[in-house]
Amino acid sequence: MRRVVSLGLILAAVVGAFAYLQVATPAWLQRLRYPLHYESIVRGHARNYDLDPALLAAVIYQESKFHADARSDSGAIGLMQLLPSTAHGIALHTGGSKFRTEDLYNPEINVRYGAWYLRHLLDKYGSERTALAAYNAGQDNVDRWIANGEGIAFAETRAYVDRVETLKRIYRKIYRLAPASSTSRGTQASAPFAS
């Protein structure tokens, strides 16, 4: 009888602990699930390009889970999953005359170029959701959707934008990644792809 009671108490404690973690996940556990590797690089380039650091961290997590050696089937490379052709264009705009594709495996270069590109998209579209859609689906697709008065046509891109927005809130909360007071340009959730 004692064994049954002991086993029941242990089982109840395990179930209770599991339920607690599902409802009120402690910050230390959230940090294990949502790492912030290269934090100084993320914060530094967020500041340099007037980006919300939580947004930059969210894009990196969604793109590569902070794996610097990530490579997609489409050929995108590194933390921010930049296509070599995109990165070469960014290098030309930013004075990187000695850029090589292999440089995209370098976290500092990858995040610098990805942050520049994200700022470019925010400035071009004036909306965080639209910029995220362009980051995922490409500017040509987004330009066509806007010209046709459509919303985001790809289900994968809609899910991507929603997921990055959720991740941004998570990173802001667990790492206290508040945007700089000046980080407001081009980040409103306005049309055409407002939620």
Task: Give the Cα separation of 77 and 87 in Å (integer).
Answer: 10
| 3-state secondary structure string across 20-38 | HHHHCCCHHHHHHHCCCCC
d(Cα 116, Cα 122) in Å, to the nearest integer?
A: 10
Residue 102 annotated among the catalytic residues of the structure: no
How far is C-alpha 124 from the geometric centre of its chain's CA atoms?
A: 19
Two structure tokens written together for 191: 């049309």
DSSP state of 192: T
* Catalytic annotation, pick one of 39, 63, 150, 165: 63
Q: Is the CB of residue 115 less than 8 Å from the CB of residue 93?
A: no
- Strands (DSSP E) contained in 51-187 are none
CA-nearest of 127, 132, 193 to 163 is 132
The catalytic residue positions are 63
